[in-house]
């Protein structure tokens, strides 16, 4: 036998025992409906590799994720170009996770994939609410005739959970019709207080990394100036950390777009923060 010591091939701090895990981190490398710059398919594997560069201790949440049992399942294998089959694979695996009494932490991939997670989780949690951090409304009914598109994921999700069960934070880009939709249904949240309505409901937290300002997070397909600083995002997360978060995902990182790797390092930190309160 080899003597080692060896570095882990998993996200830093992960347990290698699926059964004892409370949370399953799962990579979802798909980006085929994205409308601008692709490359989010490489996020899960790069996040895993770069995670060795961060500490397992979060000073923001005063928590060390080495103390929370989570399992890094690796990356699902998808048929490139076939969104429907891809969504089905995610839904089936999410079913497994919740049947096993665990929570998902999905690592995208494009934002459309969140739809499959929600479809699965909704089966178990009928009262599900969704909190979205994002630069974009993602409320298009269709994009160039396509219904399955990352620009319309929140529209599809709203159809499932109800317009009044979604909250959108950080939005600063969309068509006029989409902004009208947000105004009509009051989905756009500007103050943390507005989130309190979801306090006693099961909440899925979906973070599109482009909610952060592209100065910090250039590594994403459709960067939008005018976004949050890291501290502003952390402060919002602190407001919901005691909610009943029953699953989460972190989407739309495209590592190769940012040659400095700061985007990936920041996504690793963000995963750590979410793990600390999930």
In sequence order, what are the residues at sequence separation of 6 or more whose Cβ sits closer than 8 angstroms to the Cβ of residue 194?
A: 167
**Residues in 167-226 at the binding interface with a second copy, rule: CB under 8 A:** 172-176, 179, 213-216, 218-219, 222-226
C-alpha to C-alpha distance for 105 and 98, rounded to whole angstroms: 12
**Residues in 46-85 at the binding interface with a second copy, rule: CB under 8 A:** 46, 48-49, 53-55, 57, 59-60, 64, 73-83, 85
Give the shortest CB-85-to-a second copy separation in angstroms: 7
Give the shortest CB-16-to-a second copy separation in angstroms: 12
Tell me how many residues contact a second copy (CB under 8 A).
Answer: 91
| Strand-strand pairing, 103-108 and 244-251 | parallel
- Both tokens assigned to 195: 């989130």
The conformational region for residue 167 under phi > 0 = left, psi -120 to 50 = alpha, else beta, is: beta
Give the shortest CB-133-to-a second copy separation in angstroms: 15
Give the shortest CB-225-to-a second copy separation in angstroms: 4
**Residues in 230-269 at the binding interface with a second copy, rule: CB under 8 A:** 230-231, 234, 256-262, 265-266, 269
C-alpha to C-alpha distance for 57 and 63, rounded to whole angstroms: 6
Q: Which is nearer to a second copy, 177 or 196 (CB)?
A: 177
Please choose, out of 137-145, 189-197, 201-209, 242-250, the segment that lies near a second copy by the rule CB under 8 A: 137-145
Q: What is the dihedral of CA 245, 182, 235, 57, to 10 degrees?
A: 40
User: Is the bond preceding residue 276 a cis peptide, omega within 30 degrees?
Assistant: no
Judged by CB under 8 A, does residue 92 bind a second copy?
A: yes
Q: Which of 98, 75, 129, 83 is nearest to 240 (CA)?
A: 129
Give the shortest CB-76-to-a second copy separation in angstroms: 6
Give residue 129's Cα distance to chain centre. Answer: 15
Give the shortest CB-9-to-a second copy separation in angstroms: 4
C-alpha to C-alpha distance for 97 and 22, rounded to whole angstroms: 10
Judged by CB under 8 A, does residue 38 bind a second copy?
A: yes
Q: Which is nearer to a second copy, 145 or 193 (CB)?
A: 145
Answer for which of 17, 126, 145, 193 binds a second copy (CB under 8 A) is: 145
Residue with tokens 């999700």: 157
Q: What is the dihedral of CA 95, 101, 105, 107, to 10 degrees?
A: -30
Judged by CB under 8 A, does residue 124 bind a second copy?
A: no
Give the shortest CB-201-to-a second copy separation in angstroms: 27
C-alpha to C-alpha distance for 249 and 117, rounded to whole angstroms: 9
Q: Which is nearer to a second copy, 249 or 258 (CB)?
A: 258
Judged by CB under 8 A, does residue 2 bind a second copy?
A: yes
């Amino acid at each position: 036998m080899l003597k080692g010591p060896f570095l882990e091939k998993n996200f830093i701090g992960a347990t290698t025992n699926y059964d004892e895990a409370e949370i399953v981190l799962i990579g979802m490398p798909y980006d085929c409906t994205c409308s601008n710059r692709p490359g989010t398919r490489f996020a899960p594997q790069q996040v895993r590799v770069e995670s060795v560069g961060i500490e397992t201790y979060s000073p923001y949440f005063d928590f060390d994720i080495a103390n929370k049992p989570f399992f890094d399942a690796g990356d699902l294998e998808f048929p490139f170009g076939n969104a429907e089959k891809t969504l089905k694979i995610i839904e089936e695996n999410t079913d497994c996770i919740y049947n096993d009494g665990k929570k998902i932490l999905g690592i995208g991939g494009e934002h459309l994939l969140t739809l499959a997670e929600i479809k699965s989780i909704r089966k178990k949690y009928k009262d599900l609410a969704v909190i979205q951090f994002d630069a974009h409304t993602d409320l298009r009914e269709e994009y160039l005739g396509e219904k399955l598109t990352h620009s319309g994921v929140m529209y599809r999700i709203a159809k499932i959970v109800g317009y009044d069960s979604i909250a959108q934070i950080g939005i600063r880009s969309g068509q006029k019709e989409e902004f009208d939709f947000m105004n009509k249904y009051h989905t756009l949240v500007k103050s943390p207080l507005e989130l309190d309505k979801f306090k006693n409901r099961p909440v899925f937290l979906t973070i599109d990394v482009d909610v952060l300002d592209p100065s910090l997070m250039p590594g994403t397909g459709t960067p939008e100036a005018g976004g949050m600083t890291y501290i502003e995002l952390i402060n919002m997360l602190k407001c919901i950390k005691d909610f009943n978060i029953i699953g989460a995902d972190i989407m739309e990182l495209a590592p190769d777009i940012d040659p400095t790797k700061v985007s990936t390092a920041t996504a690793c930190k963000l995963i750590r923060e979410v793990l600390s309160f999930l």
